[in-house]
Every structure is written in C-alpha cells, then in structure tokens.
C-alpha cells in the first residue's frame, strides 16, 4: 500500500535534487537547507481506545469510515475535506442537509469518493485499498463490526493504519479526545485544542448549574424517544449518547429502565405506563417531500428546517395511537432536539437544551438556539440556518 505513490514521489525528489546540483556548479552558497516542514515530521497519535499509531509523516490521504466525521473536521478551520479522499455514505443518508451545507463551501468535497458503511459491513478491504489511504478513521461502533467481519485483521495484514473516534457511545468522555485526534491527523492540533477548551468550559458551566439545581429541586424524570415518528414506536438510546447527556443534565433517565442487552425498543403502552414527566423526541431531515410538511410523521429539525416548520411538525409523533394519554405534552414538558447531536461534537448544545428544559429556572439566562447560532459564527465555515430545538406550549 502506498508503494507506487511513494516510489513516484521519491523519483521526482531524486530528479529534482540532481537538477539542482547540476545548476549549482561550483557555487559557494552556504544558505542552510530548509527545516523539515510539519508535514515531513513523524507523527504519533493516540485514539480513543488508547492505541498509539505512528506515521512517518503527516497523513495526506484520509478515509473517514463514518462520513459524519465531517461534523468534526468542519470545526478545525479550512476545508472540511482537507486530505479526505473518501467518506462513508452515512453522511448522505443520515445528514443530507448538513452535507449540502458543507459541499457548498468545500473544494475538496467533490473530489472525495463516497464509499459504503463500515458499520453495516458493506465496505471491503479492496474498497479501502483503492483509496490508497495513509489512515482510515473509524468509530467505536464500526470497530465491533470490523472485528467481527474480519476486516480489521485484513487491514493489519496489509499494514493499513487505522484509528478510532467516538462521539456516540460516550460523548462526554470521548468528544474532546476525538476532535484532538482528527486535529493531529490533519495538522490542526492547535485548533483542536482550542475547541477542547471551549467544550470542556461549557460542559463544566452546565454541570455546575445542574448540581445546584438538583441539590435544590432533585432530579427530573425524563425519557428520550429516538427518531420519533420516523421509525416504529419506540426506541431510546438508554445510557449511551443522548441518554448520557440527559443524565448529566440532571435527569432521571427512564430509558435505562426500558432496554436490555438485546433491544432498545419499547412499546407505546410502556411509555403511557411510565408517564414521563419530561418527554424529549429527536427530529431530523427524513422527509421524502420536504416541501410538504403535512407528509411528515416526525419533527422536522436540521439545517433545512425553520422554527415555523419545527413548530408545525412538533406534534406529529404524538399521532401514534394511545399517546394522547401522555401528560407531558399537555403540561408543556414535551420537547424535540436535532437527532444528529447524538453522534457529533456539537452534542454540548443538546446537553445545554436538556438542562434548560429540566431545570428552567437555573438556566433562564441560557438560550441553546441562540448559542448554537453563535457557535456557527465562531467555529464553522458556513452560515447558520434551520431549527434544532422545539418545545410544546402549555
């Protein structure tokens, strides 16, 4: 792997050196040779599993096994597709409106190859080798599938290097280190460090307020209904991703009571039995006819939405038979949050929203929607648009 490219690079360098020597003749120029650039230096990175991976030089060709890794590379300045030669097709399938935003401003995006989904086992070693990668970036979810399918073993046998990120299983533990890993690979370590400082500062502020609110009023029961109205009722993240954020926001996460090792599914009848004090659904960009809100069965949230459209579609999931018996919507304790926060480094804004919804007095001066809009101005290469949060009116 990389042999042809490296051989050609070496040949070009040798010819260039020979030409320079011939032209210099008996020159007595004593100008010191240029220092190696950052890209020429060896690089060692550590992924979220604790694996250390060493490169002879900064990676020039990177495969994002999960296409939604672009949510993170977009934070790092410059083109979100810098050095990205291929990306997983989940970006197109799960976050098409975000993809459109990135493709509008990225010169590298159109050059990158869209591949399959490692997490679904439909990416072969041959597909990866065709990209001639210096490194393949995968997620912890993809790690399990790649191990079980034998893909990792084959990658090891060919010497193909890979690392793991995680924004989904344990976001509060792994977001900062995952962004830093990508920053190190892309030669944007300082920018990644700055984001880590921003993220940790915001998390600590929220946790501090939550601690005071819980000490005063106790934890608040809450249930997250994932992809409500888009898939059959009902599923929940349990302890992972948004579930972890709900707990950190001072919630008693009822989803942990509903799942087992085999399933994260539960019935509408079970939800009615639980009568969650606070019900949070996730919404997204799943409409087949996005210009016709009456065709939606979910809450339309994301870059393609609007506050008006989010409000118009907020009650759609409640059309599930029997859910008119839920008390939370009638009491103004029914909320919607952008689904993709579950798997990207912007998850801190879901944490902020959950905390405000559960403890409105303690977070009266915080506005997740406005803060997320400002975040785009401060960190992202494209303008803010859409709607990412919605709330029922009592």
Burial (CB count within 10 angstroms: exposed 0-12, middle 13-18, buried 19+), residue 387: buried
Q: How many CB atoms lie within 10 A of CB 154?
A: 16
Q: What is the pLDDT along the chain (394 residues), one digit of tens a residue?
A: 443 333 333 433 333 333 333 333 333 343 333 334 456 789 999 999 999 999 999 999 999 999 999 999 999 999 999 999 999 999 999 999 999 999 999 999 999 999 999 999 999 999 999 999 999 999 999 999 999 999 999 999 999 999 999 999 999 999 999 999 999 999 999 999 999 999 999 999 999 999 999 999 999 999 999 999 988 889 999 999 999 999 999 999 999 988 765 568 899 999 999 999 999 999 999 876 666 666 669 999 999 999 999 999 999 999 999 999 999 999 999 999 999 999 999 999 999 999 999 999 999 999 999 999 999 999 999 999 999 999 998 6
What is the value of pTM for the model shown?
0.88
Q: Alpha-carbon dihedral of residues 273, 318, 346, 354, nearest 10 degrees?
A: -50
DSSP state of 253: E
- Give the CA count within 13 Å in the CB-facing half-sphere of 194: 9
Phi, psi torsion values for 390, nearest 5 degrees: -150, 155
Closest Cα partner for 176 from 144, 200, 149? Answer: 200
Q: CA–CA separation, 256 vs 252, rounded Å?
A: 9
Closest Cα partner for 222 from 359, 361, 321, 347? Answer: 359
pLDDT of residue 393: 85
- Domains with residue ranges and CATH for the chain: 37-187 (3.40.50.1980), 216-391 (3.40.50.1980)
Q: CA–CA separation, 66 vs 137, rounded Å?
A: 8
Q: How many CB atoms lie within 10 A of CB 152?
A: 19
Q: Is 26 helix (H, G, I), strand (E, B) or coil?
A: coil
What stretch of H or E contains 391?
A: strand 389-391
């Amino acid at each position: 792997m990389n042999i042809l490219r490296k051989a050609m690079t070496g040949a070009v360098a040798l010819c260039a050196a020979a030409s320079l020597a011939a032209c210099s003749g008996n020159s007595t120029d004593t100008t010191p040779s240029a220092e190696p650039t950052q890209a020429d230096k060896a690089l060692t990175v550590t992924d979220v599993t604790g694996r250390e991976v060493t490169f002879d030089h900064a990676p020039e060709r990177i495969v994002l096994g999960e296409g939604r890794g672009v949510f993170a590379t977009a934070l790092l300045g410059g083109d979100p597709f810098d050095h990205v030669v291929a990306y997983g097709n989940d970006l197109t399938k799960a976050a098409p409106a975000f993809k459109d935003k990135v493709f509008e401003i990225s010169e590298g995006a159109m050059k990158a190859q869209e591949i399959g989904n490692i997490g679904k086992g439909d990416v072969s070693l041959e597909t990866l080798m065709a990209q001639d990668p210096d490194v393949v970036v995968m997620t912890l979810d993809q790690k399990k599938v790649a191990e079980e399918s034998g893909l990792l073993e084959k990658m090891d046998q060919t010497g193909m290097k890979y690392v793991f990120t995680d924004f989904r299983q344990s976001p509060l533990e792994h977001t900062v280190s995952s962004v830093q890993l990508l920053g190190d690979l892309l030669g944007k370590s300082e920018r990644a460090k700055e984001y880590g400082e921003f993220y940790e500062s915001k998390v600590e502020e929220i946790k501090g307020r939550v601690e005071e609110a819980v000490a005063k009023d106790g934890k608040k029961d809450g249930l997250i209904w994932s992809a409500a109205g888009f898939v059959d009722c009902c599923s929940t993240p349990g302890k992972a991703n948004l579930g972890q954020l709900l707990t950190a926001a001072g919630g008693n996460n009822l989803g942990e009571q509903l799942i087992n090792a085999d399933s994260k599914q539960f019935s509408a009848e079970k939800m009615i039995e639980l009568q969650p004090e606070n019900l949070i659904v996730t919404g997204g960009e799943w409409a087949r006819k996005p210009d016709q809100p009456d065709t939606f069965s979910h809450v339309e949230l994301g870059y393609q939405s609007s506050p008006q459209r989010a409000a118009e579609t907020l009650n759609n999931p409640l059309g599930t038979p029997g859910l008119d018996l839920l008390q939370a919507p009638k009491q103004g304790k029914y909320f919607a949050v952008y689904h993709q926060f579950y798997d990207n480094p912007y998850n801190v804004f879901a944490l902020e929203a959950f905390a405000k919804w559960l403890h409105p007095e303690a977070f009266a001066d915080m506005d997740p929607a406005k803060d997320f809009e400002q975040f785009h101005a401060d960190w992202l290469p494209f303008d803010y648009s859409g709607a990412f949060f919605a709330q029922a009116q009592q």
